[in-house]
Amino acid sequence: MVNPAIDLVIQLGIMFAIGAAMAMAFISISHLLSPRSTNPNKSEPYECGVVPKSDARAPFNVHYYLVAVLFVLFDLEAVFIYPWAVSLRTLGTPALAEMFVFIAILLVGYVYAWKKGVFEWE
Amino acid sequence: MTEKILFIVFSVLAVAGGLGTITRKNVVHGLLLLVFTFLNVAAIFFLTQAYFLAVIQILVYAGAIMVLFVFVIMLLNLRTFEQEEQTHRRQRWIAAALSVLVLVEFVVVLAGVTFTSVRGGLTPETMTDLGGGTKVFGDALFNNMLLPFEVASVVLLVAMVGAIVLVKREKTAGGATRAWEPGERPTPEALEEEV
């Protein structure tokens, strides 16, 4: 038995390998060929924002986490839509109605989030 | 033969990534190794012709779940596990014992299982005849598994509402509560006031 996935895996592997090789080649070529001069002033974030004062890992607003959770939940909703889209032609109208029920239930959560002001930044 | 070699390569990389995840001192390094593990598991799914599962593995685990982990790391302000190591020393052995137990459980359960459907055994050939794994999954989901599918939407809704209720503070009559600024740690007095 020949597994048709093997060819695909090898093709994808070649694609990833070429992609990684190109990225590494660009970085290493510019690293090898570019002229370099070191100067403490060059390491400063000149016109690239404020000078960093504290550690980057500061505790931050929990609001970001809420947005991330909502993203994960709607992402999972999208997962169910893929097989639905593939099977819809054979399943017909009932499946269309079922998906509308599914989305309607999740839309309740979306409206709740909206009303609670989750999408507003203070 | 090629199949076997590819499977061994991906599974060795996945296990190595998993071991790296639990041994790194820096949690962000551990997270990156976890994503590496997820990608290798996706490759194994791909190799078994479960293309839908492979894409979902990348989309949900390497994408969305990874985002959640990043936010948890930033929220908890974890640096290294040095402090935790001293308080959770005994937990390590309990965790190791439980892991072995789960492994044995998996082996025992999966060794005795054959995956079948109403149309007979679900071999890769029958899957291809039926229009591919995604289509088989879709047909099953919207025919026999309709109730679990709709229940899933309710579960997602519960998670959504739960997260909002836990995070969003109600504006009280006494004084308007405010969101904590980035980098600010609430003092005990301020928290008392909020209650």
Q: Do A106 and B178 touch (CB under 8 A)?
A: no
Q: Give the rounded percent of residues in chain A with a pLDDT score beyond 70.
A: 93
Match 């909020």 to its residue by tokens: B194
Residue B141 to residue B151: CA distance in whole angstroms:
12
Question: Residue B138: closest CA among chain A residues belongs to which residue?
Answer: A83
Regions of chain B where pLDDT drops below 50: 172-177, 194-195
Residue A86 to residue B136: CA distance in whole angstroms:
9
Quick: pLDDT tens for A55-83: 766 667 778 888 888 888 888 888 889 88
> What's B119's DSSP letter?
T
Residue B61 to residue A53: CA distance in whole angstroms:
34
Does the pLDDT of residue A109 top 50, yes or no?
A: yes
Please list the alpha-helical segments (H only) found in chain B: 2-23, 27-47, 51-56, 66-76, 82-87, 89-111, 124-129, 133-143, 146-167, 188-194
Q: For the domain with range B1-83, which CATH number is right: 1.10.760.10, 1.20.120.1200, 3.40.50.300, 1.25.40.10? A: 1.20.120.1200
Quick: pLDDT tens for B65-118: 888 888 888 777 666 555 555 666 778 888 889 999 999 999 998 887 776 665
Residues A105 and B154 sit within 8 Å (Cβ to Cβ): yes
Which pair of structure tokens corresponds to residue B159? 């998670």
What pLDDT score was predicted for residue B173? 47
Of B131, B164, B182, the CB nearest to A112: B164
What pLDDT score was predicted for residue A21? 97
Average pLDDT over every residue of A34-38: 81
What pLDDT score was predicted for residue B185? 57
Contacts of B72 in chain A (CB under 8 A): 65
Where do the CATH 1.20.120.1200 domains begin and end in chain B? 1-83
Q: Do B63 and A68 touch (CB under 8 A)?
A: no
Higher pLDDT among residues A28 and B179, named by residue? A28
